[in-house]
Amino acid sequence: MSDDRTVTGTGAPPEVRRASHVTDDSDVFVELCANALSETGLHHVAQYRWGVFGYSVDILDRLPEAQGGGFGGPGGKEQDVRRERFVRLGRQLHYVLGRMDHVLRSVDSGKLIRSVLQVGDGAVFHYYFRADDCLTGVSLGADTVDAGDRAMAELVGAFRQEIGLPLMNPGGFESETSLPVIERTPLALSKEPHRVVEGEWGTTEPALLEHCVEAVSPDALHYAGYVAPGTGRLSADVFNDPELSRFFGGSLTRDERRTRYTELGERLHYVVARLNQSLRAVMPGKLSRVVLDVEEGALFYVDRPDDHFLLGVTLDQSRVARADRRMNDLVHQMTATDEEPDAEPNGTR
């Protein structure tokens, strides 16, 4: 049922919907959600507790009809169906990502606090603002994804401040500008990255592995792997660097972490296939990028041609945003290698 008590911005007022059990006590949070929306960033956000829908706010009526594969345009029955699909997707993500949270505990990096699912020209965001309470957001349009993600992080921060909880720094956005600018030390002068080549690649140092080696460093991305099911796996990491010793004072050794990330990559590849099925009815396009942000760092998954994928990891929560940018650079380098005329399908030269 529509609720027009919250009105912000220009154009059509935000569409507010509440479940029957939600009272006026939630008004302050509904208003925070409405204030987080913009045509150039976040377009829809919904709140859930234990996977049960509470309320949603969106500005789909303000968007051009063609935006996000036809999810914009004036209200009507079609728009009502789209809103219900977004709400239903949030419930599905609570279940699927809740199971992924348990899997991620194997790397001893804390709870899952932020998930980014980039689909076609848009993205779905799933953020926890406290135990069992989460927000799911949607941005429609490739040029709105980064702004939508940051708007979600700020919204979670506002929720936590409202209920007297400390900030979690999802995405590492809060620490992004305060980090020292570090010149990347030439590999010859720093700790040589640990390399792994498994499977039938044809050479011991394929070009794709060199890209992984160049991408990792102690100040951002700590692990980068390229996985080709049926062919093998390549990876490089800087876990042996003394600067990262503080992350290995617990129960997991460096080799155990490498093994766990390999296993996580295989499971995540399966989860992505399942998520594609869930997202297909809601968002046009294919799931191409996944970010799983935990309390201590993040894991990055990027789909590649021929059912291959890239896996990246940072262990430092304050450097998640920087590591994400480094991962994007790695994707561009891999794409350039794939497009070289003498590059073979499995990455050998």
* CA atoms of 109 and 169, how far apart (whole Å): 15
Burial group, residue 4, by CB count within 10 angstroms (0-12, 13-18, 19+): exposed
> What are the counts of helices (DSSP H) followed by strands (DSSP E) for the chain?
8, 13
For residue 181, the tally of other CB atoms under 10 A from its CB is: 5
Which whole-number Å values give the CA distances from 292 to 48, 104, 105, 129, 302, in the listed order? 19, 9, 12, 15, 12
pLDDT at 18: 97
Q: Which residues of the chain have pLDDT under 50?
A: 1-9, 186-189, 344-349
Residue 282's pLDDT is: 83
Query: In one letter, which amino acid is 229?
Result: P
Q: What is the pLDDT of residue 348?
A: 39
The dihedral sign for the CA sequence 260, 263, 267, 269: positive
> What pLDDT digit, counting tens, does each position of 97-117 carry?
988 998 898 898 899 999 999
pLDDT attached to residue 63: 87
CB-based contact 308:203 (threshold 8 Å): no
Q: What is the pLDDT of residue 349?
A: 35
- Token representation of residue 176: 């992004």
pLDDT at 178: 72
pLDDT of residue 260: 94
Residue 158 confidence (pLDDT) = 97
The whole-angstrom separation of Cα 234 and Cα 310 is 10
Q: So what's the pLDDT on residue 75?
A: 59
Sign of CA dihedral 271, 277, 283, 286: positive
